[in-house]
Amino acid sequence: MDSSGDYKKSLDYYKHVSLFWTDLLSLMSSRPQMLTSTGPFRKLGVNAKLASAEMIGVNQHLVEFNNHLLEYYKQLMDTWNEAQKQFGKKVPEIPTDTEHLDSTKRIWIDIFENYFTRLFDSPDFAENFGKLVSSELELAKHWNNISSIVLESANLPTKKEIDELYKELHLLRKRVAKLEKISGMSGNGNGKRA
């Protein structure tokens, strides 16, 4: 197994151990004492294990993110070196007068632009870019989950709940506009003449 596989395995193990003991301790704890605390701390206490599981998940995806980020910079670096080599072949000596210096700059820009455009157009770059963005989104997902845990503990609506609300509002608006159109109340649904 490669090192990233080992790393994932050990993270999964810690995640499992952490959840096992927090769950078991919670089950073993005296139930009647729960009645004394109905505020956010009790909730936060219960949710803390979820937050720690999320943190373990963050570490896991951070490794993935770093791998794709390293590949991203490697691609940029390799392309830079290749372009520089090509430039060196084309312009062995840096000119010392203004006219030639300007044309040298033009050659430099053209060569680098061509090499980098070829890189950005390549499937390899786009594939790694897609994975890089995807792993970054996984991190964002963990961040959202942790925020939700904190918000839930404070009896505040979570992002998911707000999104549901936005969706319902969106559908409601469409429905109202449609009904208004059918009833001939307004030709423009929710819009208004300014």
Partner 1 sequence: MESELRIDPRIIEEFLQLNKNILEAPKLVAAPDEINLEMSPYDVVYTEGKMRLLHFNSNSKRQARTPLLIAYAVINRYHILDIHPQKSWVRNLMDQGLDVYMIDWGTPSEMDRYLGFDDYVNTYMENCVNFVSNESSVEKVTLQGYCTGGTLAAVYASLHPEKIRNLVLTAPVIDGSKDHSVVANLAKHIDVDKMVDVIGNVPPEFMYYVFSILKPFEQGFEKYVQFFKNIHNKDYVENFIRVEKWLSETPPIPGELFREWIKNVYQENLLIRNKMVVSGRTVNLRDISMPVFTQVAVGDHLVSPECSMPIHYSVSSEDKMLRIYATGHVGMIASSFSQKKVLPELGEWIKNRSEK
Which residues bind to partner 1, rule: CB under 8 A? Answer: 96-98, 101, 105, 108-109, 112-113, 116-117, 120-123, 125-127, 129-130, 133-134, 137, 140-141, 144, 162-163, 166-167, 169-171, 174, 177, 187-194
Q: Angle CA(158)–CA(138)–CA(119) in degrees, nearest 5?
A: 140
C-beta of 27: minimal distance to partner 1 in Å? 33
C-beta of 64: minimal distance to partner 1 in Å? 13
C-beta of 26: minimal distance to partner 1 in Å? 30
> CA–CA separation, 65 vs 165, rounded Å?
32
C-beta of 21 vs 143, nearer to partner 1? 143
The one-character DSSP state at 33 is G
C-beta of 38 vs 98, nearer to partner 1? 98
Is 129 within 8 Å of 75 (Cβ atoms)? no
How far CA 93 is from CA of 81, 87, 104, 112, 165, in Å, comes to 18, 10, 10, 17, 65
C-beta of 60: minimal distance to partner 1 in Å? 16
C-beta of 16 vs 105, nearer to partner 1? 105
Is 115 within 8 Å of 82 (Cβ atoms)? yes
C-beta of 25 vs 126, nearer to partner 1? 126
C-beta of 53 vs 111, nearer to partner 1? 111
C-beta of 16 vs 160, nearer to partner 1? 160
State residue 179 phi and psi, 5-degree precision. -65, -40
How far CA 65 is from CA of 9, 56, 151, in Å, comes to 17, 14, 27
C-beta of 184: minimal distance to partner 1 in Å? 13
Using only the alpha carbons of the chain, give its radius of gyration. 29
C-beta of 106: minimal distance to partner 1 in Å? 9
> CA–CA separation, 167 vs 61, rounded Å?
29
